[in-house]
Amino acid sequence: MKKNKIVVGSRDSKLAVMQTEIVMKEIMRYNPEIELELITLKTTGDLILDQSLDKIGGKGLFVKELDQALLDGRIDIAIHSLKDMPMEENEELPIVALPKRGDARDVLVLPQGCEFVENEDKALYYQNIGSSSARRKLQIKKLIPDACTSIVRGNVITRLAKLDRGEYSSLILAAAGLQRVGLPQRISHFISVEEMIPAAGQGILSIQARRDLDVEFLKYIKDDNTTYAALAERSFVRTLDGGCSSPIAAHATVEGEYIKLIGLYYNELTTEHRVAEAVDRKERAEIVGEQLALRLRGEIG
Ligand SMILES: NCc1[nH]cc(CCC(=O)O)c1CC(=O)O
């Protein structure tokens, strides 16, 4: 179905709306004839803030309400952080376009007024790091064995407020989130993707649509290399089927004809983890993800 008015759905957090507006601007740039309307919805993930996401049902919580709005026809497309989308796609509601990836790195954020100084004793920053992500916890402990973490929930703005009130000594957040809410100055230190492998899809926005929508208008905002990277990262995680509380991490980069995927696998039973990488032709992105996952699982049982 081809339409000249598109209703765009978003979660109602500041980050979600800013991200949706980025995508809407791109759509308008290439399709000045299309009228766009934004609708925001509260999601279960935004309403339950006192429990760790892993415990209350994981990623799906941020997309369920928007899925329903798409199915009901209240919205035509939904904009999400790809990182928040379940690995199994709903056939009726496919991901139809991925714009060019933003910054995929995690960053350390210090309380307002504190400065991260290289080569200085940073024990103070690491004594109470706010992060509920098993992926971030495992990797920060690997980098800084003395680091202590505690649970933090809520959207990016809420987390920063808690940090500045002194509830944490630092936070680990996604660079892309801070940049997109207009707070890049809150980034105290970038952690490289090798030091802390990002979540699959981190820094990527995703456009989801009803299956019957004509999505021709999105063709100019799709990015091929981003799509290959997303395929590799998500097939890695899907193959490991870790459940949401597993500290699985995956990051792919495309250069020329080749894709490089680096993945972290954690075995819940043995509590061992391992990192490995694979390089292949970019068209084989999905297979690369699957093979790296099988290899890592085989190696550590
Ligand atoms: N978990 C929530 C979430 N989902 C997407 C982002 C940031 C934007 C992105 O990674 O694309 C964030 C915040 C964070 O992890 O710091």
CA angle 84, 94, 181 (to 5 degrees): 35
Say how many Å lie between the CA of residue 155 and the centre of ligand 1: 9
CA-wise closest residue to 156 among 187, 134, 113: 187
Q: Establish whether residue 199 lines the binding site of ligand 1, counting it when its CB lies within 6 angstroms of any ligand atom.
A: no
- Helices (H) and strands (E) counted in the chain, each on its own, are 9, 13
Q: Establish whether residue 201 lines the binding site of ligand 1, counting it when its CB lies within 6 angstroms of any ligand atom.
A: no
Q: What is the pLDDT of residues 239-269, one digit of tens each?
A: 997 555 679 999 999 999 999 999 999 988 8
In this prediction, the answer to ipTM > 0.85 reads yes
Q: What is the pLDDT of residues 116-158, one digit of tens each?
A: 887 677 788 999 999 989 999 999 999 999 999 999 988 899 9
Nearest CA to ligand 1 atom 15: 174
Q: Establish whether residue 208 lines the binding site of ligand 1, counting it when its CB lies within 6 angstroms of any ligand atom.
A: no
Could you tell me if 249 and 237 are in contact, meaning their C-beta atoms sit under 8 angstroms apart? no
Catalytic positions: 84
The DSSP string of 72-128 is: HTS-SEEEEEGGGS-SSPPTTS-EEE-PPP----EEEEPPTT----TTS--GGGGSS
Q: Establish whether residue 202 lines the binding site of ligand 1, counting it when its CB lies within 6 angstroms of any ligand atom.
A: yes
Walk me through the domains of the chain, giving residue ranges and CATH numbers.
1-101+204-222 (3.40.190.10), 106-191 (3.40.190.10), 223-301 (3.30.160.40)
pTM above 0.90, yes or no: yes
Q: How many CB atoms lie within 10 A of CB 165?
A: 9
Phi-psi region of 230 (alpha: psi -120 to 50; beta: other; left: phi over 0): alpha
Could you tell me if 234 and 212 are in contact, meaning their C-beta atoms sit under 8 angstroms apart? no
